[in-house]
Structure 1
Amino acid sequence: MLPQDATASHQALAALTPGVYKLVAILDTNTSERGNGAPGNLYSRQEGLLRISATGTGEGEVTLNTAFPPRVFRETDLVKEVQFRSKRLSEFRGTDIFLKAAVILPASYAANLARRYPVVYIIPGWGGTHYHGANPRSQQQYGIGQGKDKIYVYLNPETQTPWGLHAFVDSRVNGPWGQALVQELMPWLRSEYRITEDPRKTFITGQSSGGYGAVWLALHYPASFAGCWATSPDPLDFSSFTGVNLYADTNYYADASGNERGINFVKGVPQQTLREARMAELFSGDGGQQQSFEAEFGVPGKQGRPIDLFDPQTGVIDRSVVKAWRPYDLGLYVQSNWKKIRKAGVGKITVYAGENDNYLLQESVAAFGAKAAKAGADIRVVLIPGADHFTVRSPELTREMQNEMDALIGN
């Protein structure tokens, strides 16, 4: 008998009509890393068969005979892998937790052993890991090698977190990733590589979820970074959370008229509804985009799992969870804390979003910018005409960001 309560992607098991169906399977045995392809997860290399004799009733067999192997980092003379055990995160999680990064050195690094270099920390977006730091296309995207010589630290925001990308935010569910970066990894990197100890030559940049993390770090550790450049950041202001006003709306899936909300807009046309997107994530298991928000901004529930922002079946928003999320609404945070942030010595913060962002993040960026302006904050918000979520970080914008870093570095 097939389990009738299993979450279905397209069609519930109980609705399958008589016939023979192909089976493939993945078993998520790695409970510390998100994603079906995490090392150690088992999968079937050959298809099995499911025979339905009557509607919703049948038997099938599929063999899980292969495990996903650990990924290999390919070092070179100028690209090095870092795996650093964090005392803070290990104590929080009760097991060894490592920060992982790729350190990309300039070609001049070996020429003058007395020289110390400016540093740029990079937080990539969804699916981005430190392995991409060795990829020429990823290096080009973030301007690595452009302008004045710098050391780049390409961070991994996905390692050892079962609930999704953590973005290096201090979280009540994921743990103190921001503290671990700023107070543990950064000092260690300065001792291992010839990275400047001058915060005026220390920068951070990020894309999408990494964009939110970059802004969060710049605001919460303002003395540590001389500049922050974020592109297409995840919602900075929760008055538009992928198009949903968490403070006014009652349902995440539908508006006040009962119309389903769309997401992933391409030329103005949604490719999914928010309901469909959430159902697809539930089908895939832990670690989807919505759950990553709940772990990043929320509080733990049973067995440490993040509490849902809304009922996944009905879409009804939990007001108590919205209240718990408020400290991570960066528009409200700037509004209440800018004087303290400025006094601590915050560097210039610039946020870019495309006017046609696929996930409506331009609305959140605009709302954040309005609150920052009202607070008198030295924060620049730029909406780029014609750009979407993925085309904001153009070669021209990358050069502009590098030029601004170089100007701050000076002679």
Structure 2
Amino acid sequence: MKHILMWSILALFLNSCASKSESPYNFNIQIDPSLSDEAQSGRLLLMLSTDDSSEPRFQISDGPQTQIVFGMDITEVVPGEDIPLSGDIFGYPYASLNDLPEGTYQVQALLNRYEMFNLSTGHNVLLPPEKGEGQQWNRKPGNYYNEPATLNISSGGTYEIVMDQKIDEIEPPADTDYIKHVKMKSEMLSEFWGRDVYLGANVLIPHGFNEHPEAKYPLMIFHGHFPNTFRGFREDPPDPDLEPDFSERFNISGYNIMVQQEAHDLYKKWISDDFPRFLVIEIQHANPYYDDSYAVNSENLGPYGDAITYELIPYVEELFRGQGESWSRFLYGGSTGGWEALAVQVKYPDEYNGCFAACPDPIDFAAYCLVNIYEDKNAYYYPGEHRKVERPGKRDYLGNVTASLRSMNHRELALGTKSRSGQQWDIWEAVYSPMGPEGYPQRLWDKKSGDINHEVAEYWKENHDLRYILERDWETIGPKLEGKIHIYCGDMDNYYLNNAVYLMEEFLESTENPYYNGEVAYGDRAEHCWNGDPNLPNHITRLRYNTMYLPKILERIKESAPRGADLTSWRY
């Protein structure tokens, strides 16, 4: 009797294991042959949503209101063939399709299409090309998808989905009297990527540009995420018919009207009689990994730092009568743009005359948000003898956490393997990591488990840890950076970026021969992306990058311009 009972328990256990390995849901997805007769490769995404206010492809986020996505790589799939999705396919926020609750969903599939890039390193890699949208998988022209279908998902069901739609091409923005859009082929980047690669710039030209052909202008480089056109400049007053919206981020009604008003106020300053005349550019350097390149040289992205500094900047200055001298070039930006402003100043100290870095991405990898990549063993958890605690990934100014570092990375992994999600943590890997044997970035940590690769961390340290590089090389680059470094950050930055700023400040204040003679400032209880104004709220100052540092820039020019520099032609 005892043996019979044991065999019965074992049989129940084995049946339970077998049932768990079988998927309760099966999806067959096709590419409609009307879209293409060529085999397709890319990342196939299956999205399900219980919110019908918009398409599921626009509802995948890090926050609590995210909807559901599962993803798998496909290679050379012929349109019309079934692509089965079931079982343990990886997903977010559910780890696998097996975990999906039964229910009624809006269901949508999307193929983020990849192309083969033949790199100068000899590697052939499949990546999503940039198509003018700034590397956004849910808006990329040419990607396939279906209109959302309402499906009742229940155990044992099989569901057929046909992707029969293609995202339209993007119409390029038109030039105006003040805003010009230029592109140039980069020989450096074209050689690396094995195809023609172009850099772009949205250029805000000074009032009176055509009337003063003798004038040559200083250049302000406004670093940041992909700009379709120049942002924050508007000749017309706010639209009187614009319905006020609600900004959940800032908890403010009518923020869209405020944005238009600030843009129009910049226009009025721009054309006023006593406003200094200068050029401002926003750079377009989206690439197969992200909406910008981080403006530095990288094993995986190529020589974007050199291409921007030595190809694009001189090209713009020649077209629009820039001074073309290092004393007349300044860098500023926030978040990604803040890191870029500081990194470019540090890596090209002779080419620029000052940086204003607001809420920069981690500038010391000992505080890579809440991870010390050199000492911690795991990125996702604080260790303990008897339990482990998840590291937060995002908070508000009161400390309320809305995402963990693990969940943020798992969302990216659902969207793309091999650092191809087009998202934040993956671009940091693509920029900072060495190239792996297959031609893709080496992982800093295992994307599922969070276990850190400390050999990769050491590569990051030597090549892209800005605080470490400054300390290592201060004897040689310090004299070239005196008075050029300005950093601003809220002390309750949503992504804990202030932690790295504290470490950077500690080093900068210790500098000698020379003392860095710059500025580091913090906003009390200020979130991402506080940029240095202690008197106005964050939601206003973030709209004033192109004027708020101007007094300090003009003072810097006065103090540092060499004898004989043109300080008058642009002051009409």
TM-score by length of 2: 0.66
- The structural deviation recorded for 1:51 is 6.1
Question: For residues 116-127 of structure 1, what are the structure 2 equivalents within 5 Å?
Answer: 116-125=216-225
Which residue of the partner structure matches residue 26 of structure 1? 110
Question: Bigger CA drift: 368-377 or 140-149?
Answer: 140-149
Which residue of the partner structure matches residue 202 of structure 2? 102
Which residue of the partner structure matches residue 270 of structure 1? 401
The answer to whether the Cα contact below 8 Å between 1:222 and 1:346 also exists between their aligned partners in 2 is no
Asked if 1:369 corresponds to 2:523, the answer is no
Which residue of the partner structure matches residue 3 of structure 1? 86
Instruction: List alignment gaps of at least 5 residues for structure 1.
Output: none
What is the one-letter code of the residue matched to 1:374?
S
- The structural deviation recorded for 1:349 is 1.1
Which residue of the partner structure matches residue 38 of structure 1? 140
Which residue of the partner structure matches residue 352 of structure 1? 488
Aligned-partner Cα distance in 2 for 1:345–1:366: 19
The answer to whether the Cα contact below 8 Å between 1:104 and 1:133 also exists between their aligned partners in 2 is no
Note closer, same or farther for the CA distance 1:389–1:77 as it changes in structure 2 (3 Å cut).
same
Which residue of the partner structure matches residue 47 of structure 1? 148
- The structural deviation recorded for 1:152 is 0.4
Greater relative CO (CA pairs within 8 A, separation 6+):
1
Which residue of the partner structure matches residue 92 of structure 1? 192
- The structural deviation recorded for 1:347 is 5.5
The answer to whether the Cα contact below 8 Å between 2:186 and 2:311 also exists between their aligned partners in 1 is yes
Question: Bigger CA drift: 327-336 or 144-153?
Answer: 144-153
What is the one-letter code of the residue matched to 1:27?
L
Note closer, same or farther for the CA distance 1:52–1:357 as it changes in structure 2 (3 Å cut).
closer
Aligned-partner Cα distance in 1 for 2:289–2:318: 31
- The structural deviation recorded for 1:156 is 2.2
- The structural deviation recorded for 1:83 is 1.0
What is the one-letter code of the residue matched to 1:189?
V
Aligned-partner Cα distance in 2 for 1:65–1:130: 24
Note closer, same or farther for the CA distance 1:352–1:375 as it changes in structure 2 (3 Å cut).
same
- The structural deviation recorded for 1:371 is 1.8
The answer to whether the Cα contact below 8 Å between 2:221 and 2:282 also exists between their aligned partners in 1 is yes
Which residue of the partner structure matches residue 253 of structure 2? none
Instruction: List alignment gaps of at least 5 residues for structure 2.
Output: 1-25, 27-84, 115-127, 235-258, 533-537, 559-566, 568-572
Q: CA RMSD in A?
A: 2.5
Asked if 1:160 corresponds to 2:291, the answer is no
Which residue of the partner structure matches residue 284 of structure 1? 415
Aligned-partner Cα distance in 1 for 2:107–2:302: 38
What is the one-letter code of the residue matched to 2:158?
G
Which residue of the partner structure matches residue 178 of structure 1? 305
> Out of 229, 235, 246, which is 1:131 matched to?
229
Asked if 1:407 corresponds to 2:558, the answer is no
Structure of larger gyration radius: 2
Aligned-partner Cα distance in 2 for 1:153–1:164: 16
What is the one-letter code of the residue matched to 2:337?
G
Aligned-partner Cα distance in 2 for 1:322–1:362: 21
Aligned-partner Cα distance in 2 for 1:364–1:226: 23
- The structural deviation recorded for 1:343 is 4.3
> Out of 277, 282, 302, which is 1:149 matched to?
277
- The structural deviation recorded for 1:149 is 1.2
Which residue of the partner structure matches residue 301 of structure 1? 436
Which residue of the partner structure matches residue 196 of structure 1? 323
TM-score by length of 1: 0.91
Aligned-partner Cα distance in 2 for 1:16–1:130: 37
CA deviations over 1:210-239 (Å, ceiling 9, x no partner): 111111110111111111101000000011
The answer to whether the Cα contact below 8 Å between 1:124 and 1:156 also exists between their aligned partners in 2 is no
Which residue of the partner structure matches residue 231 of structure 1? 358
Which residue of the partner structure matches residue 389 of structure 2? 259
Question: Bigger CA drift: 296-305 or 255-264?
Answer: 296-305
Note closer, same or farther for the CA distance 1:333–1:71 as it changes in structure 2 (3 Å cut).
farther
> Out of 330, 334, 348, which is 1:221 matched to?
348
- Secondary structure of the 2:504 match is helix
Question: Bigger CA drift: 309-318 or 280-289?
Answer: 280-289
The answer to whether the Cα contact below 8 Å between 2:327 and 2:353 also exists between their aligned partners in 1 is yes
Which residue of the partner structure matches residue 310 of structure 1? 445
Note closer, same or farther for the CA distance 1:236–1:374 as it changes in structure 2 (3 Å cut).
same
- Secondary structure of the 2:86 match is coil
- The structural deviation recorded for 1:359 is 0.5
> Out of 457, 464, 467, which is 1:331 matched to?
467
- Secondary structure of the 1:100 match is strand
Note closer, same or farther for the CA distance 1:39–1:315 as it changes in structure 2 (3 Å cut).
same
CA deviations over 1:32-73 (Å, ceiling 9, x no partner): 2232112222222x2235565635x52222333122322422
CA deviations over 1:342-366 (Å, ceiling 9, x no partner): 3446661101111110000001011
- Secondary structure of the 1:113 match is coil
Question: Bigger CA drift: 399-408 or 309-318?
Answer: 399-408
- Secondary structure of the 1:62 match is strand
> Out of 437, 455, 462, which is 1:320 matched to?
455
Percent sequence identity over matched residues?
26
What is the one-letter code of the residue matched to 2:550?
Q
CA deviations over 1:172-209 (Å, ceiling 9, x no partner): 11111110011111111122111112211111111111
Question: Bigger CA drift: 105-114 or 397-406?
Answer: 397-406
What is the one-letter code of the residue matched to 2:338?
G
Aligned-partner Cα distance in 1 for 2:206–2:353: 20
Aligned-partner Cα distance in 1 for 2:88–2:104: 21
- The structural deviation recorded for 1:143 is 6.7
The answer to whether the Cα contact below 8 Å between 1:201 and 1:408 also exists between their aligned partners in 2 is no
